[in-house]
Amino acid sequence: MSNGKPPYTITEGAADSLAKIVESVTRLELGTGFKRDIRLHRENRIRSIQSSLAIEGNSLSSGEVAAVIEGRIVAGRQEEVREAKNAYEAYDAMMSLDPYSVSDFLEAHRLMTKGLIGESGRFRSGDIGVFDGPVVIHIGARPQFVPGLVSDLFGWARGSDLHPVLKSAILHYEIETIHPFADGNGRMGRLWQTLVLAKWNPLFAWIPMESVIYQNRPQYYAAIEDARRANDSGAFIEFALASILETIRAQVEHQDKHQDKHQGGRGAEQITEAMLSALEAIERAPLSRKEIFAAIGMSGDSRAFGRIVGPLLSGGYAEMTVPDKPNSKLQRYRLTAAGAALIGKARSG
């Protein structure tokens, strides 16, 4: 790394995934009930923990991880039970952590590995290698360089204007490459990516990206290896963003099915008069949230926005002019081709 900046390339595939991630997470946030689905949040947290541990060989099922979290006795290796308890504590504390603080990084490692290794919460004091059977496939940085490398990496990340989604993937990969700990490097890389994403949008604290990585383990390891050979994290970034997108889309699909079940399907018949009025308000030109509600003569509080504009965004009838910054003061909402067709259908009907 030069001045802390790691080598990376943003491929066309990664850029395409980033645009779709921003669009999809906005739909999940504003157009579905995901934010309020506490039961699903809990299920997803269990999936995150179980999947991240399973990648490292932990044999506990999701049901067993849930039992551990609830304090019930689980028959199995006590080391695996301890890993589950620790991971739950680390994920539970996640939102109180600063993703660019070395001391918080060490504290998270302490939570993740306490009672499991001697150097819990500390950078390793010895050399370490990653093996495929008897073959060494990666040697971590020499221990005397680890603190400086992590400090430089986090310093770069804190000051970088790179989009947090891209930054999260780079940090995940670089943590894997530096291998700063005697054990727990994979778990920490995945936790830290989730943390960076959750600081960008808190929904990511409840989106189980780790489960998609677990399902695609061969591709995960291949992406890490391809990036190492190229000395550039581009291949890993592309894989990581594709995984994030897949996870978000699965959550949106789950919410859509839930909504279909309880509302009898989606479509134009569910468009209310207030929604149609909002679409007509932005027919001529993009408008701000305040301007939309002034035009339709309603109060534009967050509940009204979620009830009226949220479904228009999730249904593809309207879109944001600044999609990567949903809360931007410059944010405007404009009509899409689908929205124009819906207006036309309503007028002709």
The DSSP line for 224-287 is HHHHHHHTSTHHHHHHHHHHHHHHHHHHHHHHHHHHHHHHT--SGGG--HHHHHHHHHTSSS-B
Q: Are 170 and 248 in a shared domain?
A: yes
> Is 275 found in the same domain as 133?
no
Do 253 and 275 fall within a single domain? no
Instruction: Among 257, 292, 311, give the residue marking a domain's end.
Output: 257
CB of 237 closer than 8 Å to CB of 14:
yes
Residues 252 and 272 in one domain: no
The pLDDT of residue 35 is 87
Verify that 93 and 43 share a domain, yes or no.
yes
Residues 336 and 218 in one domain: no
Tell me: do 242 and 305 sit in the same domain. no
230 with 181, same domain: the answer is yes
What mean pLDDT is predicted for residues 244-262? 80
Angle between helices 185-200 and 102-113 (to 10 degrees): 130
Domains contained in the chain, number: 2
pLDDT digits (tens, 9 = 90+) for 104-124: 999 999 999 999 999 999 999
How far apart, in whole angstroms, are the C-alpha atoms of residue 162 and residue 206? 23
Residue 174 pLDDT level (bands cut at 50, 70, 90) = very high
Q: Quick check: is 12 in a domain?
A: no
Tens of pLDDT, residues 224-233:
999 999 999 9
The residue type found at 301 is: D
| 253 and 278 together in one domain | no
CATH of the domain at 295: 1.10.10.10
Q: What is the pLDDT of residue 338?
A: 87
Does residue 213 sit in the same domain as residue 285?
Answer: no
Say whether both 210 and 71 belong to one domain: yes
Q: Measured between alpha carbons, how far is 189 from 112 in angstroms, rounded to an integer?
A: 12
Largest CA distance in the chain: 74
**Per-residue confidence band for 306, with pLDDT thresholds at 50, 70 and 90:** confident
Residue 231 lies in a domain: yes
| Residue 179 pLDDT > 70 | yes
DSSP string, 277-322: HHHHHTSSS-B-HHHHHHHHTS---HHHHHHHHHHHHHTTSEEESS
Domain residue limits at 41? 32-257
Note whether 21 and 244 are within 8 A (CB): yes
Looking at the structure, do residues 248 and 280 belong to the same domain, yes or no? no
pLDDT single digits (tens) 126-147: 988 766 666 666 788 899 999 9
